[in-house]
Amino acid sequence: MRIDILTLFPQMFQSPFSASIFQRAVDQKLVEVNLHNIRDYTHNKHHVVDDYAYGGGAGMILKPEPIFEAVESIKSEMKEEAAVLPVILLTPQGRLFSQSIAQELSRNKHLVLICGRYEGVDERVREHLATDEISIGDYVLGGGELAAMVVVDAVVRLLPGVLGSEASPLDDSHVSGLLEYPQYTRPPVFRGWSVPEVLLSGNHAQIAKWRREQAILRTLKRRPELLDRADLCVEERQVVDGLKASL
């Protein structure tokens, strides 16, 4: 997968993208990330990328020209697939990012992410350049960079071969629509707190049953709304509806 990221702060991506799983994916040519400084697509002496808002108001708006030019330079390297290239604007007004959106995006060969700053980008970027708008949550960030990193992290780990044998994205929370079950490692007793016997039993059927129950119970307690669309079998649905009724 190729990911092109437009930003005024390419240095923000250095360390997050140097983390193990990600760096290995780059080294294994499973993903290629290109950082584009929007300022490099300006043609004025002072490389101006922002301007005052028409109609007044505090703060500055990112100008459309360098953003359009940056995306068009990326498209100019492509053939017919440029017409269907996902150009994602990170914005508080975007659709709320989720595991299912991460799975959807991971099926693309190429993504472009636009990271705004200041008060945001000129509306014509949203109207005539972006093909999608994503928000990572209902809180205000200072810009789109951290949101872009979240999207890239969640998408890249879904790419075949990125997560070695040690983990499968299919076991993740939210993939089954349930929160994850409690995890333990050595020592079996820590400060008098013991690991549940079933996990030390070696009885894999019992362990799987216990983990499924724990995932459902934890989801019921912490995120009951997730259970409405979790794929539960009939018996589990009856248990959950019974527990919900008793709450």
* Known catalytic residue at 180: no
Could you tell me how many helices (H) and strands (E) the chain has, helices first? 9, 9
Which of 6, 7, 41, 91 touches ligand JD8 (CB under 6 A)?
91
Marked catalytic residue, from 40, 65, 69, 172: 172
CB of 148 or CB of 215, closer to ligand JD8 = 148
Cα distances (angstroms) measured from residue 206 to each of 183, 184, 187, 239 = 15, 16, 21, 18
Stretch that binds ligand JD8, among 23-31, 86-94, 203-211, 231-239 (CB under 6 A): 86-94
Marked catalytic residue, from 16, 64, 86, 92: 92
Under rule CB under 6 A, residue 176 binds ligand JD8: no
- The token duo for 67 is 């953003």
Integer distance in angstroms from the first to the last C-alpha of the chain? Answer: 46
Under rule CB under 6 A, residue 177 binds ligand JD8: no
Under rule CB under 6 A, residue 159 binds ligand JD8: no
Q: C-alpha dihedral over 230, 232, 236, 237, to 10 degrees? A: 70
CB of 92 or CB of 169, closer to ligand JD8 = 92
- If we measure between CA atoms, which residue out of 144, 146, 71, 142 comes closest to residue 111? 71
CB 183 within 8 A of CB 40: no
* Known catalytic residue at 92: yes
Under rule CB under 6 A, residue 147 binds ligand JD8: yes
Marked catalytic residue, from 157, 212, 218, 237: 157
Helices 204-222 and 234-246, packing angle to 10 deg: 40
Q: Least distance (Å) from ligand JD8 to the CB of residue 97?
A: 8
Question: If DSSP codes are grouped into helix, strand and coil, which group holds residue 157?
Answer: coil
Backbone angles phi, psi at 10, to 5 degrees: -60, -30
Under rule CB under 6 A, residue 92 binds ligand JD8: yes
* Known catalytic residue at 72: no
Under rule CB under 6 A, residue 7 binds ligand JD8: no
Under rule CB under 6 A, residue 112 binds ligand JD8: no
CB of 11 or CB of 194, closer to ligand JD8 = 11
Residues 47 and 39: their CA atoms lie apart, in Å, by: 6
Q: Whose structure tokens read 């799987």?
A: 208
* Known catalytic residue at 157: yes
Site residues (CB under 6 A) for ligand JD8, limited to 115-144: 116-117, 119-120, 135-137, 139-144
Q: Whose structure tokens read 């890249």?
A: 156
- The token duo for 8 is 């005024």
Under rule CB under 6 A, residue 60 binds ligand JD8: no
Marked catalytic residue, from 65, 69, 119, 153: 119
Give contact residues for ligand JD8 (rule: CB under 6 A): 90-92, 94, 116-117, 119-120, 135-137, 139-144, 147
Residues with catalytic annotation? 92, 119, 157, 172
